[in-house]
Amino acid sequence: MSKKPLILVINDDGITAPGIRTLISVMKTIGDVVVVAPDGPQSGMGHAITINSTLHLEKVTIDDGDQLEYSCSGTPADCVKLGIRQVLDRRPDICVSGINHGSNASINVIYSGTMSAALEAGIEGIPAIGFSLCDYNWNADFEACKAPIKTITENVLKHGLNDGVVLNVNIPNVKKEDLKGIKICRQARANWEEEFDKRQTPFGKDYYWLTGKFVNLDKGEDTDQWALDHGYVSVVPVQFDLTAHQSIQQLNTWELNN
């Protein structure tokens, strides 16, 4: 039996995306790799799971190498569930998700299929990391991602993570030599100012295309967005317990049982 760590690799851009191919190449320098990824793009799916249709899982070969790879018809969260319960014969030592084409910093974490895959692994008690590059281009240059991804992954394997916590890692769109380092951050308070572009099909039927711009409302210098804007890799510890613990005491003062 191999003494190398067993690494489950997931993404949301699809199994053939350049980002996941880069992530696989880095993980193969660390441990034994098994890939379970969507058969097509699943960006913005959040933590959706498939409950009203069938799921399909197919063993595939994309690149040369000894990694096992499976293409899944479901969402990123589905991929984690199937990977753990149907593909692997033991629990993975770590689950890594990405490399996403585009930022998952700040409020983007809510919508991200990449981060939802990491969170699903975290729910299962598996150390997990979501990796994203702040470049939406399909042919983005992922070279600058390799060293920080390896460093962060090896540290998680060595030190572990607190129960209920996964890491959201974003890498700025800069050349490798221009990276300034890695910063532990909090999530910036920001939102999207969204609009729907109303259009018509050639047959005169209305349809809508979501557009908008990202607005950073947070001036703090300890946020993920600040780090990215200044050339740093941002690392945000994310928890899937959504309880606003600081509000419990206040709510207990309400007259709810009179």
Kindly indicate the confidence band of residue 2, based on its pLDDT and cuts at 50, 70 and 90. low
Q: Which pLDDT score, from 0 to 100, does residue 85 have?
A: 95
Q: What angle do CA 233, 179, 134 make, to 5 degrees?
A: 50
pLDDT at 218 over 90: no
pLDDT at 139 over 80: yes
Lowest-confidence pick of 117-131, 132-146, 211-225: 211-225
Q: Where are the domains of the chain?
A: 6-188+220-251
The neighbour count for residue 160, using CB atoms within 10 Å, is 11
- Where is pLDDT greater, at 41 or 184? 184
pLDDT at 205 over 90: yes
* Cβ atoms of residues 76 and 97 within 8 Å: yes
Helices 18-27, 146-159: inter-axial angle, 10-degree rounding: 50
CA distance 219 to 172: 18
Q: What is the CATH number of domain 6-188+220-251?
A: 3.40.1210.10
Q: Which pLDDT score, from 0 to 100, does residue 47 have?
A: 86
Q: Which pLDDT score, from 0 to 100, does residue 215 have?
A: 79
* Cβ atoms of residues 55 and 25 within 8 Å: no
Q: Is the dihedral of CA 208, 214, 215, 220 positive or negative?
A: positive
Of all residues in the chain, what percent carry a pLDDT higher than 70? 99
56-94 pLDDT tens trace: 999 999 887 788 999 999 999 999 999 999 999 999 999
* Cβ atoms of residues 126 and 90 within 8 Å: no
Instruction: Give pTM, 2 decimals.
Output: 0.92
pLDDT at 126 over 60: yes
145-204 pLDDT tens trace: 999 999 999 999 999 999 999 999 999 999 999 999 999 999 999 887 778 888 999 998
Phi-psi region of 198 (alpha: psi -120 to 50; beta: other; left: phi over 0): beta
pLDDT at 1 over 60: no
